[in-house]
């Protein structure tokens, strides 16, 4: 895997949002494993490392909430549908986001 870190969601640049979403999609299983490791560090982490850290109750509660929402059927379905829908928009978003793009050119690109 090329990516090792989740990127922040940019409020203004749509192309960065696509990149952020793709990164999350690629790292989905690792994120779930990480949350499982927070919930049961002795079971999960002995497969990867000898780290025997202890998480506080609030962190474990938040990890449980996040994990249960991520593995929910509707969440996974929405994730796949959004990925497929956004893929078709990414090319035009990349082109429309250029600084030197004329407004007339932008309208023509959308029509095409």
Read out DSSP for 42-90?
HHHGGGT--------HHHHHHHHHHHHHHSSHHHHHHHHHHHHHHHHHH
Q: How many domains are there within the chain?
A: 1
Residue 76 lies in a domain: yes
Residue 5 lies in a domain: no
pTM of the model: 0.69
Residue 7 lies in a domain: no
pLDDT at 99: 66
Domain of residue 43: give its range: 14-111
Residue 100 lies in a domain: yes
Residue 1 lies in a domain: no
Which tens digit of pLDDT belongs to each residue from 23-50?
A: 888 889 889 988 888 888 766 655 555 5
């Amino acid at each position: 895997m090329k990516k090792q870190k989740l990127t922040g969601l940019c409020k203004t640049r749509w192309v960065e949002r696509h990149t952020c979403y793709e990164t999350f999609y690629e790292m989905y299983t690792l994120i779930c494993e990480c949350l499982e490791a927070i919930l049961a560090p002795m079971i999960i982490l002995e497969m990867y490392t000898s780290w025997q850290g202890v998480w506080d109750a609030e962190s474990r509660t938040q990890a449980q909430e996040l994990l249960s929402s991520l593995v929910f059927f509707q969440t996974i379905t929405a994730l796949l549908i959004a990925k497929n829908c956004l893929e078709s928009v990414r090319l035009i978003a990349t082109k429309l986001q250029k600084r030197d793009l004329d407004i007339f050119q932008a309208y023509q690109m959308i029509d095409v």
